[in-house]
Structure 1
Amino acid sequence: MTKIIQFSTIGALMAGHVQGERDFAKLSCGCNFGLGCSANLNGELTIYDGTAYEATAGQSLETLDYEEKVPFIQLTNFNPEHEYVVEHVNHKNIEACLKRFIQAQNIFIAVSLQGVFEQIIFRRPYSLADGEERNVDELAETQKVDTFHQIEGRLIGFWTPELFGRVSVPGFHFHFLDESKQISGHVLEFYMNYAQLSFQEKQTIEITNPKSNSYKKMNIDVNMLDEMIQKIEK
């Protein structure tokens, strides 16, 4: 599969459309790789080998039920076209590292880094109690940030061109999953001495928009979106 299957957009999510609307089962279509979030931003989703892992602060890593409805997700079948061993790679130089091997600025790319992380910093949201609500700004203040050292695992994510920065997170968007599948989250920083870099160009992105009235009635301030995406997702 040379396409990314996506439900909703990062712009709609940042603007407040966080209700779960579409079953994971109806979206997954046998896809083995991806990321997203669960309803009401209660967890970060990382899809590996067809299973969706939900990371929530203060809770054990859980697998998402196929019937669970999600507000935003990106999925694909990951069959790497290219694999390279890279050295001294981190969150600051990964773009330059990738561009050594492919002209990336105007295309979508599914990307994975696997190996031992000398250090990785990631975040997870705290779950809301039933009936509670929060906006995206409040989410930024109610997340747990963790740092791990010498942990084996992989980054799962996508490179999105700036041109599509309100559809998907511009640049890199990575989630982490450790080798034992017990630890996961949205990546903020990382460093690896050695890593296996794998990637696959995705020529198509297929987006399904929510169809609820709440989505259709949204008044999205597009002038604020870039700032919000940078604040929350980077």
Structure 2
Amino acid sequence: MALSMPFLLLLLLLSLLLFGDAKKYGQYRGGKWKHAHATFYGGNDGSGTMGGACGYGDLNQQGYGLQTAALSSAMFNDGLKCGSCYEIRCTGEAKWCLGRRRSIVVTATNLCPPNWDQPSDNGGWCNPPRHHFDLAMPAFLTLAKYEAGIVPVAYRRVPCKKKGGMRFTITGHQYFNLVLVWNVGGAGDIVRMRVKGKKMGWVDMKRNWGQNWQSDIDLTGQSLSFRVTTSDERVSTSWHVVPPSWQFGQTFISKKNFRAK
């Protein structure tokens, strides 16, 4: 059956509206729920969760707090999922869960490594191909009782809501620069990073580990701009966010961040 021209125009308008909204806010707006399990680590004060495989350091100082998780290797993807955010709810027995409608949002800040000495269903919770969240203890205790130890959960990818602009911390030395990118909103995880000095064009950086991105050129004495691409293909450019007088060990704050609706 042929469609009328007004109906086709209406479909086109709706598609443009939906596409534009996805480009503006990203694709992670609450997807389908998936199944996994969750445990906890780090103690009640969360001190054992600081640092980690993403490189964020002191999670309290960096603004991530204790609503964080170490992902199993099947989810961690060698660090590419660092900074991504997930909504999690407990789906186990009522005697262990604190409410099936209760959910929390956590940021991926660490890796839960495989334990090959234990079977996947008895201690090797983070062995591939399992999807597993090792939560900071305070986060786990908002979903389930301490005595549960491990609980089945449902999870879905959601946008990260961060306050203020993206942060860039520069370490290394003259010909080996590492830039840690953190406090990233929207998708939260970065798939491409570029740098531009005042005296040079855009150069691709290589991901070294976690969300530390590497360049092997001399950038000292130049104002620096960074171009960040997240996993939902959104791009943000922080022009001249680093002044020419920058020093290794300093952190610089962009006026920009990715929005999460």
- With normalisation by structure 2, the TM-score equals 0.20
More helix by share: 1
More strand by share: 1
| Higher RCO (CA-CA < 8 Å; seq separation 6+) | 1
